[in-house]
Structures are given as structure tokens and as C-alpha cells.
Structure 1
Amino acid sequence: MNDPQIISGNSYADQRGILFYNNDLRLDEVKRLYFIESVDLHTVRGWQGHKIEKRWFSAVVGSFEIEVISFENMEKGSAIEQKFELDSPAQVLHVPAGYLTAIRSREPKSRLLVFADYALKEIKDEYRFPYKN
């Protein structure tokens, strides 16, 4: 199993504006995308994860904190494995199959872009657990 990791991009600015890019991100597995916008800064979307599906996350507006834990460690009652801060559209968090996430907005009106490698209802692979911090 691969570990969750940030795929770093960069930005370029000139008199016309800013270009955010990520030349190391491969999207050949992606079949769909959606956006998450939380109702407030206190609500946590988690724990939710997939044993088969992969996800890629990018903060296109504002910033997010994403906690990640493997199913194996969740079932053992272990602590959070990793915590990621996303605050640039050039940063992408790749979460491989076998992990759960807990997502929290860090700024009002933040918007998170999510890519998935399976179409909606293509497989049954969604797991949810109550979030306790």
C-alpha cells in the first residue's frame, strides 16, 4: 500500500496574474471530480474512506486540514497517522486506497477539489466512522 503524500506544484506570476501548476500530478486514473465546501470551520467531514478507491485533494479556495489514517490502524483504535495542510491550488494530496480521511476547512468559504478513480456507483466502496478527536 502506498502512503498518502503531497504532490507539490508551484506558481508563476507576471503582470497578467498568477498561474498555479503541478507538472508531477498524473490524472490518467481519474474518472470524476467534485468539490467540497464546508458549512463552517468547526464541522469535520470524517471519518470517510475507501478500501479500493483513490482520492486526490486540492484546495482551490482557502485552506484545509486533512487527517489521514489507514483502515488497519482505525480498527486497532490507533491515533491519526498523518495530518496535512492544503493551502495552494498547486498542492495535491494523494490518498491511496486503504485510508480514511477527516477534512476540516481552515478559512470561511474554502473549496476543496476532489478527484476519484471510480465513477459514482461503479463499485460499492464507501466506509464511514464517527469522528472523535
Structure 2
Amino acid sequence: IRAWQAHTKEKKWFYCNSGAFVINLIELDNFEHPSDNLKTQKILLNSAVPMVLEISGGYANGFKATQEGSKLLVFSNFSLDESKADDFRYPADQWSFEP
């Protein structure tokens, strides 16, 4: 599991081009000290059902491959330097990850 990462302004787009992933989203109430009881939204991406998931700023996300050899493409509207300046990381056990 790769969790939890958030951005205040950066948007990201996720596309599964091989295998499958489960992605969890949490709308944050505070970036510096988010609540521990925030609701998790679960989304499934599968290469058999092409779909692009857009995650706007204001959300924390985490993801996990559910099939061996899965590949996930991630696109951003920020440069790498802009993204690093807008990056918030939280411990994997901060919130419950829905498999």
C-alpha cells in the first residue's frame, strides 16, 4: 500500500493500463493536523474497464495493486518542483485503508 499523500492545489489523474488497483480518497479537513475519523472513499481501477480517475487538490490518496504486474500511470497539472512544494505525507496507519 502506498498511502497517504495529499496536495492542496495539485490535480492528479490515474489510469490503470495493466492489472487492477484499489484507490482510497479522503477529503481533508486540515492539512497540518487532519482529523483521524475522516471517511474513506474507495475506487477500483481495472485495465479491462478503461477509466481515468481525477483527484483534485484537497484530498489524501492511497493505492494498492490488486493483481500481480499491475501498472498505474499518474499525470499531474504541476511540475515536479511545484508538486514537491504542495506535498503532504501522512503515516500509512493514519486512516483505515479499504481493500
TM-score of the superposition, structure 2-length normalised? 0.82
Residues 1:63 and 2:5 aligned together: no
- Rg: which structure is higher? 1
**Alpha carbon RMSD of aligned pairs, Å?**
1.7
Aligned residues with identical type, % of pairs: 34
Measured after TM superposition, the shift of residue 77 of structure 1 is 1.2
Aligned mates of 1:53, 1:117 — CA distance in 2:
6
Deviations 1:9-60 (A, max 9, x none): xxxxxxxxxxxxxxxxxxxxxxxxxxxxxxxxxxx11100101100110110
SS in 2 for 1:122: helix
Paired residues in the alignment total 90
Deviations 1:42-93 (A, max 9, x none): xx11100101100110110100000000121781212433100000362111
State the partner residue of 1:95: 55
**Structure 1, unaligned runs of 5 or more:** 1-43
State the partner residue of 1:47: 4
Q: Which runs of 4+ in 1 moved over 4 A?
A: none
**Structure 2, unaligned runs of 5 or more:** none
Higher RCO structure, 1 or 2 (CA under 8 Å, sep 6+): 2
Measured after TM superposition, the shift of residue 120 of structure 1 is 0.7
Residues 1:104 and 2:68 aligned together: no
Residues 1:129 and 2:85 aligned together: no
